[in-house]
Amino acid sequence: MNSREIVEALLFASNASLKLKDIQSVIAIEAAELAACVNELNDIYAASGRSFRIREVGGGYLFVSLEAYAPYVKSLVNPSRLSGPALEVLAVVAYKGPCSKQVVDTIRGVDSGSSLKSLLKAGLIDIKAGKPLRYYTTGHFLEVFGLNGLNELPDLNQFAEIFAEEAN
């Protein structure tokens, strides 16, 4: 494996832009080498007629569709749509919150950093100061999901019953 393919895999797996420091937490790479990798990948994508490129946005890198494809993408994808991992994180925060990132990661069994960032950006969760930082749902979360309060969330025991019935 070379740096270019590792960078591509990291960007592909992320649902938010990755900054140099995020990528450096996984692989030893300097800013110039990262920029070279991104340029090489974009050259490969352009040469093969791909509909996407990697762009630097807000100090980080992410995959974006080319502008020519925007009408098609917009007709299919709701921009406020949440990924599966983001929905999982949101459910953990809604049911267990306020809770720390460590609690979310432990429940999910994977790192939830990028999903937490995307949920913060969408205004569905916020942070309570302290050590550790704790995440909680916002009023916007309640609006989006048509709830008056978290007490209106389905009882977790209902899910256990459903899964038990499906297993039989």
Distance CA 89, CA 101 (A): 10
| 41-82 pLDDT, tens digit each | 999 999 999 999 998 875 678 888 898 998 888 777 655 678
Pick the CATH number of 3-75 from 3.10.105.10, 3.20.10.10, 3.40.50.980, 1.10.10.10: 1.10.10.10
Measure the CA dihedral 67/73/75/79, to 10°. Answer: -100
Residue ranges matching CATH 1.10.10.10 in the chain? 3-75, 84-167
* CATH classification number, 84-167, choose in 3.90.45.10, 1.10.10.10, 1.20.1260.10, 3.30.1360.120: 1.10.10.10
pLDDT averaged over every residue in the chain = 88
Helices and strands in the chain, H and E counts = 9, 5
Q: State pLDDT tens for residues 138-168.
A: 887 876 776 767 888 888 887 777 777 766 6
